Structure 1
Amino acid sequence: MSDLIDRVRRQWEEVHPELDTTGMAVVGRVLRLASLIRRDTDDLLAGHELNRAEFDMMCALRRNSVLNPGQISREMLSSGAAITKRLDRLTKLGLVSRAASARDRRVVQVRLTDKGVALIDDLLPRQLQAERNALTNLSEPERAELATLLGTMLQTVEGMSGQ
């Protein structure tokens, strides 16, 4: 069975036979999978006026109940300005609320509204099902092995980038 990555590697072999495209066999497929899965996620979220970053922020809030913008920024590896922009938009949509902390009024606490909780509780299972669908042709042991291998690869890349 051949896929786009196999075809691209064969094309590079013809043009530059000295190039080592073995990394492309893995990384190219990971990136292609991410792109295809992201497209499906974007389609799911578009019907609710959300983008992936806003969805991820709402998921972080659902997992943690309440966070301040700095914590959200660290959790999502995003700049403070990007977080503020997303919070402003989600607030306008009625999905999050911001309030000053009772202990320190300089600290803003962010939480999902009831509407935001209901939306995440509806969307997340659908997103997780789509991810499981992508794994349909893999057995449970293959899924576990793939998760382990990708985890090892991620640790390597994170270590190289200082994340």
Structure 2
Amino acid sequence: MEDVVAGVLRQWERAYPGLDTGPIAVLGRINRCAALLQQTPDPLTRAGLTRAEFDILGALRRLDRELTPTQLARESFASGAAVTKRLRLLEERGLVSRRTDDRDRRVAHLALTEDGRTLVDGLIQELVTHDRALLAGLTPAELDRLAEALSGLLNSLEGTIGSTLG
């Protein structure tokens, strides 16, 4: 069965014979997969969380210690401004607590509250099960190859784009 991007590639080939559509084949499929995944209700949606908010909660749970907003930005692959916005919402929900540094009042230390820990612990297995179901059409070998190929792409992009973003 042909995917939607294959049709787009044929259209580009008709419009521009000989055009190397390899980049469109890869990035078009990545973008289409991302769009479909964002439209799929998941356990986080039902819990009233976005993936980005869960990334912050997950970082606090995985590392199991207080983190500063800067550390959370690094751990959740988000900008400082995005983390600040998400933290405000998570604090309002009582999932994250903030403690001011004893030596430098400008520095905040963030931790999961008991409610935050309970939420993450209750969601993580459900989320993994949900994500596994989304990938059920691929064999274990295909999953391994895809993960390896995406890792290579990610490392390449982080080396080029990431270095320009600082």
TM-score in terms of structure 1 length: 0.86
**2:22 corresponding residue in structure 1:** 22
**Post-superposition shift, 1:36?**
1.5
**1:51 corresponding residue in structure 2:** 50
**SS across alignment from 2:121:** helix
**Post-superposition shift, 1:161?**
0.9
Distance 1:22 1:77 in 2: 28
Verify: 1:11 aligned to 2:11, yes or no: yes
**SS across alignment from 2:111:** strand
Ranges in structure 2 where 5+ consecutive residues have no aligned partner: none
Distance 1:113 1:155, change over 3 A: same
Distance 1:49 1:56, change over 3 A: same
**1:33 corresponding residue in structure 2:** 33
**Post-superposition shift, 1:102?**
5.0
Distance 1:68 1:100, change over 3 A: same
Write out aligned runs for 1:149-160 (5 A).
149-160=149-160
134-143 vs 7-16, greater mean Cα deviation: 134-143
Preserved CA contact (<8 Å) 1:68 1:109: yes
Ranges in structure 1 where 5+ consecutive residues have no aligned partner: none
Distance 1:156 1:81, change over 3 A: closer
1:103-158 deviation digits (Å, cap 9, x = unpaired): 65543211111111111122222222222123222222222122112211211111
Distance 2:146 2:79 in 1: 31
**SS across alignment from 1:99:** strand
**1:72 corresponding residue in structure 2:** 72
The number of equivalent residue pairs is: 162
1:86-108 deviation digits (Å, cap 9, x = unpaired): 11111110111111245655432
TM-score in terms of structure 2 length: 0.85
